[in-house]
Amino acid sequence: MNTSTDKVILENLMARLKQETSSEHDRMEVLMQQAGVFESKENYAQFTLSQYYFQKDVEHLYLDPKVQQLIPDLDVRGRSEAALQDLKDLNVEPQQQLIATEMIKFPESLGWIYVSEGSTLGAAFLFKEAQAKFGFNVEFAARNLAAYPEGRAVVWKRFKQTLDEANFTEQEKNEVIKGALNGFNRFGTLLEDLKNLK
C-alpha cells in the first residue's frame, strides 16, 4: 500500500466530495426510482418542480461575490429558468417562494453548487428517458435536463479544476463537503415529498 499516494487522493477536494457523498448519491437514485419519475407525465412534472426549487436554492448562492470570484462562468450554469419553462409546458405553476439556502455561507455554498453541477452528468440519462418515454426534448419539457451548449463534460471538468485549484484549507474543504451533504439532503427532502410538492 502506498500511503503517501492515498493521502494525496484523500486531500483532493473533488475526490473527497465524490467519495464522501457517494452514499447520498445512491440514496437519490433510489428515491427517484421510488417516486416513479418516468412512470407518468404527472410524476415527471413533479420531478421537474423539485429540480426548479433546487435550482432556485443553488442560484441564490451565485449572488455572493466570493462565489462569483471563484467561479467566473456562473452565467453558463444554473437551470432554474429552463425548469420554469419546462413547468409551463407541463402546465404546472410553482407555488412556493422559500429559498433553502438563505443562511448558507461561503465556502459551504460550493458544496451545494457541486451537487447541482454534478447532477448535470446523471441528467444525460434522464434526458434520454424523458425523450424515449414522453417525446420531450430541448424545446419542450426537458430543457432542464439538456446539456450545456459547450457539452456536459467540458463544463464539469472546468468546475472540478476550479475547486481543486482553489487551495482550500482542510477546514474549508470540510465546509464544502458539509454543504454538499446538505445540498443532497435538501434534494432528498424534495424527492421524498414529491407527490405533495406544489
What does the alpha-carbon distance between residue 100 and residue 97 come to, in Å, rounded to a whole number?
10
> How far is residue 43 CA from its own chain's centroid?
19
Report the residue number, 32 or 181, with the smaller CB distance to ligand HEM: 32
What does the alpha-carbon distance between residue 93 and residue 102 come to, in Å, rounded to a whole number?
22
Report the residue number, 90 or 181, with the smaller CB distance to ligand HEM: 181
CB of residue 23 vs ligand HEM: minimum separation in angstroms?
A: 12
And the C-alpha cell for 167?
Answer: 487551495
What does the alpha-carbon distance between residue 45 and residue 59 come to, in Å, rounded to a whole number?
21
CB of residue 160 vs ligand HEM: minimum separation in angstroms?
A: 8
The identity of residue 9, as a single letter, is: I
Instruction: State the DSSP H helix or E strand holding residue 154, giving kind and residue range, or none if neither.
Output: helix 152-164
Q: CA angle 111-77-45, nearest 5°?
A: 90
CB of residue 188 vs ligand HEM: minimum separation in angstroms?
A: 8
Report the residue number, 4 or 109, with the smaller CB distance to ligand HEM: 109
Report the residue number, 57 or 90, with the smaller CB distance to ligand HEM: 57
Report the residue number, 28 or 67, with the smaller CB distance to ligand HEM: 28
Helix/strand/coil (H/E/C) assignment for every residue in 92-146: CCCCCCCCCCCCCCCCHHHHHHHHHHHHHHHHHHHHHHHHHHHCCECCEECHHHC
CB of residue 117 vs ligand HEM: minimum separation in angstroms?
A: 7
In the complex, the residues that contact ligand HEM under the rule CB under 6 A are: 17-18, 25, 28-29, 32, 114-115, 118-119, 121-122, 125, 187
CB of residue 119 vs ligand HEM: minimum separation in angstroms?
A: 4
CB of residue 170 vs ligand HEM: minimum separation in angstroms?
A: 19
**Cβ–Cβ under 8 Å, residues 40 and 46:** no
Report the residue number, 52 or 114, with the smaller CB distance to ligand HEM: 114
